Amino acid sequence: MIIWTRWGIVVFLIFGLSVGAGFLLKAIVSPDGGSAQSGVFVGIGFLLGAVACWAFGKFALAKLDAPRPVVVWQQLVQPYVNEHGITVKQEAVPVRHPQTGEQLYSRPSSTLFFIPVRFWAYVIAALGVVTIVVNVVRG
């Protein structure tokens, strides 16, 4: 079973696309299915996938997993009708730290197999290097 939170599933998709990119690269370089080993190209695909995973974690997740203010919904003493004709019975109240009075924020995190997305780029890159070295040594 694959376990992810929030945007961690993207790592799984990047991993699959990396393998596909490796086989596509092999088909482009050696269209006749010559002596080129598929493993080396899959390793290169993993390295490309690691770059994609790093870019996703650096640029997209910075916005998707941005800190958000913590609020609680408080029942209003006197409900009112807003400008859209909807009766409002609750309001959002920001949660404040009891000692300092500062606004509290929650920071969501995206993980795959309990590992944060930002670390998966290194895991995929290491897998790519190992794949390339094993296939080059094997010959």
Domain-wise residue ranges, the chain: 1-66+108-139, 68-106
Q: What is the mean pLDDT of residues 9-29?
A: 90
Supply the pLDDT for residue 29: 84
Supply the pLDDT for residue 119: 94
pTM: 0.74
Check whether 113 has a pLDDT greater than 60: yes
CA distances from 35 to 30, 38, 40, 133 (A): 8, 9, 12, 17
Residue with tokens 């009075």: 101
Query: For residues 86 and 92, is the Cβ–Cβ distance under 8 A?
Result: no
Rounded Cα–Cα distance for residues 46 and 29 (Å): 17
